Structure 1
């Protein structure tokens, strides 16, 4: 009995230690020289984080009307995933509705430059990262899903792998929605620009096998059809990618489930490129 109790309390103590040793969640102020302002981001580092080890980084973008806190508030299990896969997760602020573009209409909105260059440089300087494309992934939801693929295809030497969760990957069917005309101008007056800033039309930039891509969207999502079109176009252009679909709408319930599969996908990529 004494041996059993000893083993039980040892096991219990081990469990307490295991569950209380969690990732660190910090809010950092980064500086965008292109926009001349400070921008906040959440940075999640795994438990046991050490400057003597280099970690892969996943950039996770929020959707329209969200902010840098949205992901950690809605998916606190991100801490567990950072621990499980020993990676850093960064959730930057996309200014409510920037769509992660360098806007040709709003001079002060340069979120492609910020996320695609300035933020990456900040994270690589301040944290112990694998400072190469082989150590970086980017994904996001809705507006952030479009933003992640848009940045990935325009910065193929920065991100080795990328994804999208319910991404608005073709903006052309939605000319009056989500403030896009504020940042791109009226579609009828700028049709070529709307194609230039849309993932679907710019996907021809992708080089086969250069990036590992994963796209997820629920069948009840209003972005489902444009995601299917992107999947079909990538297939036609011989761009290898993983396309995951199933029941689900444009909701956090879907994204909480889907993001864990994307993080596993990224983890497998990082392991293969070590």
Structure 2
């Protein structure tokens, strides 16, 4: 963690231009029978080999990150990897459900990744892919990474809803999973904290952060404790902050620094 913070501090002192290229593309989803808007942020040199998939939160959309955390463009130029922000729907939680329009797990893993790797000059390998997000998107990033370790080598979450069960009446989740008291097993299968058994030793590098005044702070601590108990290596950062863009605009610096380290290690091995 000290190396991560030192790296972040070093880059904070560098001058970087705001020349990152921002595209909004419409990715056709055959599974959901619709087009999904997606923001793609490319570094100035447009020679990125690695990709970070960055997910938005509940009630948000594909444009949130680039609009609410404009420093993201500067960070893309500094680190030189692609950032892709797909629309995850108002309340999808990035699950597949029995409704055609809610197949976001399949969309990201089976449609979005191939689209990005066909249309941008990035390397199509798990060691060049990372995924993270905020709130609902933090849950979604870990949920997808735990279940698809063949696709992602690195994953994170900022202010993530990493255990949904303490909030059975919130954020339209019961419309997707059924009522918790009637379908507890289904909720267990769709909550990140109950999927840690899927993590293969040494297969995922993880970075999790949360503000100390966030209503998800408790469940993030529980996930950290469980990962520690299971001897699953991970980085866990807490900072003062609430569940808002003031916090996420700061936390993205640490997230980006972490994934940059991951991608640099991949290149060093080669």
Verify same fold: TM over 0.5.
yes
Q: Tell me the secondary structure at the aligned position of residue 188 of structure 1.
A: coil
Whether 2:96 is the aligned partner of 1:102: answer: yes
Moved over 3 A (4+): 18-21
Shift of 1:205: 0.6
| Structure exhibiting the larger radius of gyration computed from Cα positions | 1
Match of 1:37 in 2: 34
Match of 2:121 in 1: 128
Q: Tell me the secondary structure at the aligned position of residue 55 of structure 1.
A: coil
- Listed as ranges, the gaps of 5+ residues in structure 2 are 1-14
Q: 1:21 to 1:179 in 2, by over 3 A?
A: closer
Q: Tell me the secondary structure at the aligned position of residue 203 of structure 2.
A: coil
> Which structure 2 residues correspond to residues 174-193 of structure 1 after superposition, within 5 A?
174-193=167-186
Q: 1:229 to 1:127 in 2, by over 3 A?
A: same
> Are the counterparts in 1 of residues 159 and 243 from structure 2 also a CA contact under 8 Å?
yes
Match of 2:25 in 1: 28
Q: 1:109 to 1:21 in 2, by over 3 A?
A: closer
Instruction: Give the alignment partner of residue 86 of structure 2, picking from 92, 99, 122.
Output: 92
Cα RMSD for the two superposed structures: 1.2
> Are the counterparts in 2 of residues 207 and 239 from structure 1 also a CA contact under 8 Å?
no
| Pairs aligned (count) | 253
Shift of 1:246: 1.9
Give the TM-score taking structure 1 as reference length: 0.90
Whether 2:46 is the aligned partner of 1:49: answer: yes
- Listed as ranges, the gaps of 5+ residues in structure 1 are 1-17
- More contact order relative to length (CA 8 Å, sep ≥ 6): 2
Match of 1:4 in 2: none
Q: Tell me the secondary structure at the aligned position of residue 189 of structure 1.
A: coil
> Are the counterparts in 1 of residues 72 and 252 from structure 2 also a CA contact under 8 Å?
no
Shift of 1:269: 0.5
Instruction: Give the alignment partner of residue 158 of structure 1, picking from 147, 151, 158.
Output: 151
Q: 1:21 to 1:142 in 2, by over 3 A?
A: closer
